[in-house]
Each structure stands twice: as structure tokens, then as C-alpha cells.
Amino acid sequence: MRRVGVHLATIAAGLVCLVAPQARAQDASFGCKVLLCAAASAPSWSGIPYCVPVMHELFRSLAHGGSWPTCPEGNAGGLGYEPYYPCPAGMTAVQSGRDGDAGLIASPNGNLCADMKTLSNVCTRGRDSSCQVTYPTIPRQPRSDPDYVDISTANGVQRFYFSLRDY
């Protein structure tokens, strides 16, 4: 008789497992939903109907001073801002100096790329003849999604770019 009771208890436990609801993405915390959606790449979050309202809610919150939500199962860094794409190889990100100052100041978020290895003198002739050292520059290409957060995954760190414009 004791043996039958053990078998019944085992069967009952199995049935409970079968009937118990399974964990679903919509049951996750907001922070975990955000990480799942932000980490999506093929398609990105905007191509996944479930993620669109989650990410719009995130962006509205961030645009109004909120912070990146946490997820115990994931790890995200702080918010960052990169308004431009990187400069071409061999060029340095710079910002023009103050008015009247032709110098360039190295700046990671500068709006110009300069070839600091190629310098030339620009000279003016006339009453106030002078020469000034210059470097060839090109404008940096602006990002449409300048805000970012770094997300740690099993494959390393993935940078997730987005824009808070219009939120």
C-alpha cells in the first residue's frame, strides 16, 4: 500500500508540472523585457511586434530623466552619447577652436575628422602677413541613433544604439 502512495504522489507531482503555467516573455520584469528586446539583432527590436511598445516605453522614460531599468539576469552599463560615427582610419576626432583660434582640439565627440599627420601652412599676404598651421579636415557623419548602452551577453559586450529624439 505504501508503494501505491509513493507512485500516486509521483504522478500527482508530474501532473502539477504539466498543468503549471510556463514562464513567458510577457511575464518578465520590465528591465528584462528591455534587455531581451535591445539584444535582438535579426530582426532588431523594431521588427518584433512584442518589443515595439516595450522600447517606446523605455525611450519615453529615458527622455524624461529616467534611468536604464535593471534585470537580475542581465547586465547593462550606463547611458552614453555618441553623436557621430568614428572618423576614417588615420584621422582624429576634433572640434574647432574658439572664434579667432584656428587650432583644433582633440575631442571624442568633435564634429570634424582631421588628418593630424598632414599639416600645411596657410599664409596671408598684405599688410598683416602671417602664416598659420592647418590640418586637412572633413565633417563627421552624424548618427541617427546617438544614445547608447552597453549590454553584456554570453558573446561579449554589445553596444545598443537608439535615439531619444521625439520622445
pLDDT at residue 164 tops 60: yes
- What one-letter code names the amino acid at 33? K
Query: Residue 62 — very low, low, confident or very high, per pLDDT cuts 50/70/90?
Result: very high
Report whether 74 contacts 35 (CB < 8 A): yes
Can you give the pLDDT at residue 145?
95
Higher pLDDT, 21 or 159: 159
- For 88-143, give the DSSP string: PTT-EEEEE-STT---EEE-TT-SEEE-TT--EEEEE-STT-EEEEE--EEEPPBP
C-alpha torsion sign, points 149, 151, 156, 160:
negative
| pLDDT tens by residue, 141-162 | 999 999 999 998 778 888 999 9
What is the chain's mean pLDDT, rounded? Answer: 80
pLDDT at residue 35 tops 60: yes
| pLDDT tens by residue, 96-155 | 865 444 578 889 999 999 998 887 777 877 777 778 778 889 999 999 999 999 998 778
Mean predicted confidence (pLDDT) in 40-44? 89
For the chain, domain boundaries: 26-82+145-162, 92-139
Can you give the pLDDT at residue 68?
92
Lowest mean pLDDT among 6-10, 46-50, 121-125: 6-10
Can you give the pLDDT at residue 27?
55
- The distance of Cα 167 from the centroid of its chain, to the nearest Å, equals 17
